[in-house]
Amino acid sequence: MLRQLTVGMVFVSAALACVLWLTQSLRFVEMIVSKGISSLTFMGLTLLLMPTFLVVILPISLFAVVLFTYNKLNTDRELVVMRAVGLSHWALARPGLILGAAVTVVGWMLSLWIIPASVGAFRELQWGIRNDLTSILLQEGAFNKFGQGLTIYVRSRSPNGELLGLLVHDKRNPEKPVTLMAERGSLVNTPTGPRVLMENGNRQQLPRGGGQLSILYFDSYTVDLATATNGDNTRYRDARERSVRELLNARESDWGLSEYRRSKVELHQRVTSPLYGLGFAAVALAVLLTAGFDRRGQMVTILKAVGAMVVMQALALGSNNLATANLAFVPIMYMVALAPIAGSCWILLKPPRLSRRRRRAVPA
C-alpha cells in the first residue's frame, strides 16, 4: 500500500507541476519577445519557481492519491478482508500516515531552506535581466524606449560590444526635443547611473513651434539613461527570500511595523504549511476508514473528505491574514494546522463501536 501511494503521489505531483510550469512560463514570454533572453535563461527563471509550488502541490496530490487508493481498496472489498483478519483503522491508515509524515519532512526542507534560496535567486536573475542594459535592453535594429520620452536605435553591435549606427531621440523636455546621431558609441556605468557615450556625431534641435534647425557636431557626447533604471541600482529583498536566521532576528525598529509583521508571519508559515501534508492525509483516512462499506458507492464520503480539506485550506488562509494584521493571532496558525492531525489520529485510534444488534449477539 505504501508503494502504491508513493508511486501515485509522484505521478500526480509531476502532472500538476507540469501544468503549473506551463501556466507560469507564460508570464515570461514578454521577456523573450521584448528583452531577447535566451532559452537557457528562460528555463532557469521558470525552474526556480518550482520549489515554491511543490509545497502546495505535494499535500494536494497526496490527498488525492489517498482518496483514490483507499476508495479502490474499499470498492474491491480488500479493506473488508483486512478488517476480517484483525487489522484496525490505525493499522490500515499507517501507510498513508507514513507517507504524509515524509511529505511534511520534505515540505520543511523546501520551506525552510530551498524556497528562500530559490526565490532569492529568481528575484536576482529577474532584476538582472530588467537592468542589464548592455546585453538586453539595447536590441539591435529596434527602437528601444527608456522611461518617458527617450528612444535609442542601434544599427548593429561589434564583437567587442561597441554600438554602431546610433540614433537617439530625447523628448524628456517637451519644450526642447533633441535628436542625436553618431557613428559609434558604448554603454558606460557611472555612480549616477548608466550612460551612452556617443562619438563622432551631431546634435539636432528644432525649437518648438518652428524656427531654424540647430545642428551641433561633436566628437563625443553622453546621454543619461537614469530614466531606464530610475537611478537606483539596489534591490529590496522581501520576507520570502530571507533566511530563517534573518526572520528570527528581525526587529520592528529596522524593518518597520508592516514589514516586521509580514516577516514573522512568513517565519511561522514556513513551519505550519508543511504540516498540511500530514493533515490532509490524516483527514482523508479518518473519513474513509470510519465510513464503512456501502454498495451504492463512496461518493458522499469522498465529498465529505474534500469538503473538510477545503475548510482546512480556508482556515489556513484566514489565520495567516489574521496573524499579519495582529501577531497575537499567530497561535491560531498552529491550531489550524495541528487540530486536524490530532483529531484524525484520535478517530483512527479509537476502537470501532459495535452496533446494538451485534452487541446483543456477543455472548456475555
Going from the C-alpha of 212 to that of each of 59, 206, 239, 353, the distances in angstroms are 72, 7, 57, 101
d(CA 195, CA 186): 8
pLDDT (average), residues 77-103: 90
Can you give the pLDDT at residue 213? 82
Here the cell at position 131 is 537592468
pLDDT (average), residues 188-202: 82
d(CA 111, CA 103): 12
Best CA proximity match to 45, nearest among 63, 56, 29: 29
Give residue-wise pLDDT tens across range 296-317. Answer: 667 888 999 999 999 999 999 9
Using alpha carbons only, give the angle 106, 110, 115 rounded to the nearest 5 degrees.
170
Classified as helix, coil or strand, 186 is strand
What is the percent of the chain where pLDDT is above 90?
Answer: 40
Does residue 361 surpass a pLDDT of 60? no
Here the cell at position 104 is 511534511
Here the cell at position 205 is 534641435
Specify the higher pLDDT residue, 258 or 338. Answer: 338
Note the pTM of the prediction, 2 decimals.
0.74
